[in-house]
Amino acid sequence: MIFSYQFVQRALIATLFAGIISGVLGTLITEKKKIMMTSGVAHASFGGIGLGYLLGIDPMLPALGVAGLVVMVMKQMEEKLSSHSDTVMGMLWALGMALGMIFVGLRPGYPPDMTSYLFGDILTISERDLLFMVIVSVGFLMIYSFRFEQWKIVLFDEEHAKLQGLMVDRYKTVFYLSIAVAVIAMIKVVGIILTLAILTTPPMTAKLFTKRLLPRMILATIFAWITIFLGFFLSFLIDVPSGAMIIFVSVLVYFLMAGGKKMEKVLAIRK
């Protein structure tokens, strides 16, 4: 029985908390149109992973630092030079990937296999990785459930939030840093290259059924659970990379649901 293996059990627990991260932060990322920023942060964080290998420390620690630095740079750029923010993001994206490869190349000895960081492997999640995901997901639930109505006002109606005396900049800083933390938490599940998809596809699938924020978060979490578990299970059965299979299932579910909703509308019109 595959579920008797400890690494499989860790993967299943990781599925639960990855789903929460995708449902909560992913929904906000898609609604705030921070999709390209999220992808850029994920790719830029590879520089931190390479630095970690060069220094002989846990690669996820400098990756988290780089991700946090990048989102804060982008926050400043969007506020001061909004027309050039995409260009800067592209530069940071490329710089991070380049530095990552340079740092890995500078490390003495045989170069490490970076596949799990680029494409993910849920079966390689360690107890430390799992603990980080638990802390992140529970932290997100606490942060965004506390004063939920204020969060909605700040994220979707800044002017009104300022009139109410809310500390908009502080809220935005927390949100931007949340993106960085979410990206790092998901790297071991689907990898740098595929992180964007797992943070956006379940929320987009949920949006087919509801536009309301809270129900969408809940539904997105459920879709994330389903797709991550199915992708993991199928990858185990047919022996293919888990990260790629998870994204394949996630996107497939989206198109099946979108097609079903469209067919439903066509049939309703004909009636």
Domains and CATH numbers, the chain: 2-270 (1.10.3470.10)
Q: Percent helix, strand and coil across the chain, each rounded to 5?
A: 85, 0, 15
List, as one string, the DSSP characters of 66-88.
Answer: HHHHHHHHHHHHHHH-GGGHHHH
pLDDT at position 82, please? 62
- 24, 185 Cβ separation under 8 angstroms: no
Structure tokens at 89: 């993001």
**Strand, coil or helix: 112:** coil
Q: What is the pLDDT of residue 161?
A: 83
Task: Please report how the helices 148-156 and 127-145 are oriented relative to each other, as an axis angle in degrees rounded to 10.
Answer: 90
Closest CA to 265 of 208, 210, 223: 208
pTM of the model: 0.88
Six-digit token string for 42: 């994920």
**DSSP single-letter state for residue 239:** T
> Which residues touch 170 (CB under 8 Å, ≥6 apart)?
none
pLDDT at 178 (0 to 100):
94
What is the spatial distance between Cα 193 and Cα 180, in angstroms, rounded to a whole number?
15
Six token digits for residue 53: 């290998």
**From first to last of its 271 residues, what are the pLDDT tens digits of the chain?**
566 777 778 888 888 899 999 999 999 999 888 888 888 889 899 999 999 988 888 888 999 999 999 999 888 887 776 656 677 777 888 888 899 889 988 887 776 777 778 877 777 788 888 889 899 999 999 999 888 888 888 888 888 888 888 888 899 999 999 999 999 998 888 888 788 888 999 999 999 999 899 999 999 999 999 999 998 888 888 888 888 888 899 999 999 999 888 887 777 776 6
- Residue 101 C-alpha from the chain's centroid: 22
Cβ pair 149, 212 in contact under 8 A: no
